Structure 1
């Protein structure tokens, strides 16, 4: 495919401009259409990014033969419905996190895209930050030796008004969860990407402050398949929001970093200068502050995956891992038992 990859955005809410900017800013992409059930939102996005075609019904959009790929920015519980329809229409897909909110939905999405031979990528932009890549390379090169502990601390603030801003927020049916499924899913994806797959989890999870169905605070103890242990904390109930922090410890060293960069880079068997990386814009207190760099990278990656006929950087199978872990955390909190992941 030498011509530009022609995109449409389905869903025109808070995160949609990040998708539109990434597409509009790519010389190999063209932004053709947008769909949203709320016409005012769709028209606003179309006006801001000079998108020629606007739809209220995404099914009508998918009938267009001048669209090669879509990005999905609808509420989490609707991801599977849109992705499966797109796959059946022969469109490649980049879906905003989380992949979906149930195991069955994710299985059906992945299967539909594999059967239709279209690409399925998921937006987990922490994987493409400079600090994350440097830390991953250090672990894989053996600098930490045997891994012992891998922790993710995600202490965000979301106001009562945030949860009232859209009817689906803070609901099990559409949001799929709270501080973990919506905000914390990024860090949960990253810690398991860095440390390896999780074997089991024991957790507490509850709404301690906000009047919502789902959790505003959760803490989990995890055991990785490597044998290492870890702690995952996630909240939207503390003020002010803190930078997300990752602590990685092994028998031969420690790596600690947050949104500002590395805080510790120390190894038992050699001295090494702490890497200097570009700070990440934190959205711990304001979701509108989410940086666009990751969306640019992942949109471009989908384009190259289509051209090279390979899986995207974060495939459907990779994208589901964080959700499967969160679902296990919820089950543990509900039952009071340690839950082993499949």
Structure 2
């Protein structure tokens, strides 16, 4: 028997809202049923494309019995408040990254989910990339041995025109931050997913290449994890013309490199022997570790639809009454790292993360 699709409304008809609408139009088990935006023209245009009704207010949609869930695709500082409203209506909610821009807001969302019949997930679609899945599986299996260090780097370029294109972009009030909060948060999320609980951060931040924003365009940090492993974080939107988002994970028996969602390097020592005295990295096992189309040199069009995979996981979690892969707690932990970086950069001192 075919299950009845879960009917979603998309809140926010900008760039990311349009992407969510396209995903929901295709992902099995879901149906795009409405769009919402305070700009009636934006809502109308997206609604006409998919043949669904348009609304200007979230409350109108939450009153509809036929709507099961809402995808929140609005400016970052609005995420938690709107997600809380969805959960209080006992509907499910997908929250675009970041979960919000303050821990207080994230905590309110967590409390709302505990009291709701609805479930929530925070978009961290790169956890679903085959490259990320391969590295995570190796970490969980202990294939890398004790994890020792990692490097997370997002060196992108965003012009002043990019920031000027939306009144909320590059503002502390609505965006919550700059290169870290908006552009680097996915790579930071992968870092903590691989290495575990971060406990202390020391950081620097700067605004170096833009005139009309009040957030950082460059930041670096050192993170100490509960295991003792160390990592560096580098995020910038001032690296013209822009390079890749890159994550390196290193252990006493192996290493991996994910570069722009592709597994470009993977090597572990043979399970039945000592790791070579000077390494054995001449043998790249990436082709064996990740799916075809996800390794170095692959056509970008061959990369999986990670948003679709996350939606599929969320739908399965709802139908089988389990937690999704990316929970509110996971989204909150990633946010706590970004906020600790900002706190350390402002104070000039190391910051201990809350347990």
TM-score interval (norm. to shorter)? over 0.9
Q: Does 1:137 align with 2:149?
A: no
Partners of 1:57 and 1:20 in 2: CA distance: 17
Alpha-carbon contact 1:259-1:279 (below 8 Å) kept:
no
CA deviations on 1:133-174 (whole Å, 9 max, x unpaired) are 001111121221111101101111111111000100000010
CA deviations on 1:25-84 (whole Å, 9 max, x unpaired) are 023222111110111111111122222x11111111111111001100010000111111
TM-score by length of 2: 0.90
Partners of 1:163 and 1:31 in 2: CA distance: 30
Alpha-carbon contact 2:132-2:261 (below 8 Å) kept:
no
Alpha-carbon contact 1:22-1:292 (below 8 Å) kept:
no
**Structure 2: gaps (5+ residues):** 272-282
Cα shift at 1:280: 8.8
Alpha-carbon contact 2:265-2:285 (below 8 Å) kept:
no
Partners of 1:123 and 1:139 in 2: CA distance: 22
Partners of 1:260 and 1:16 in 2: CA distance: 22
Cα 1:303–1:309 change in 2 (3 A) is: same
Partners of 1:169 and 1:71 in 2: CA distance: 20
Cα shift at 1:260: 5.9
Partners of 2:295 and 2:65 in 1: CA distance: 38
Alpha-carbon contact 1:18-1:292 (below 8 Å) kept:
no
Partners of 2:28 and 2:229 in 1: CA distance: 44
Secondary structure of 1:31's aligned partner? strand
TM-score by length of 1: 0.93
> Which residue does 2:329 correspond to in 1?
317
- For residues 27-176 of structure 1, the aligned pairs below 5 Å read 27-51=28-52, 53-176=53-176
Secondary structure of 2:255's aligned partner? strand
Partners of 1:108 and 1:260 in 2: CA distance: 32
> Which residue does 2:306 correspond to in 1?
294
Partners of 2:261 and 2:186 in 1: CA distance: 16
Alpha-carbon contact 1:94-1:120 (below 8 Å) kept:
yes
Secondary structure of 2:267's aligned partner? strand
Q: 1:333 aligns with which of 328, 345, 348?
A: 345
**Structure 1: gaps (5+ residues):** 282-288
> Which residue does 2:260 correspond to in 1?
259
Partners of 1:297 and 1:333 in 2: CA distance: 35
- For residues 170-249 of structure 1, the aligned pairs below 5 Å read 170-211=170-211, 212-249=213-250
Partners of 2:75 and 2:156 in 1: CA distance: 20
Cα shift at 1:312: 1.5
Partners of 2:27 and 2:230 in 1: CA distance: 41
Cα shift at 1:269: 3.6
Question: Which of these two proteins has the greater Rg computed from alpha carbons?
Answer: 2
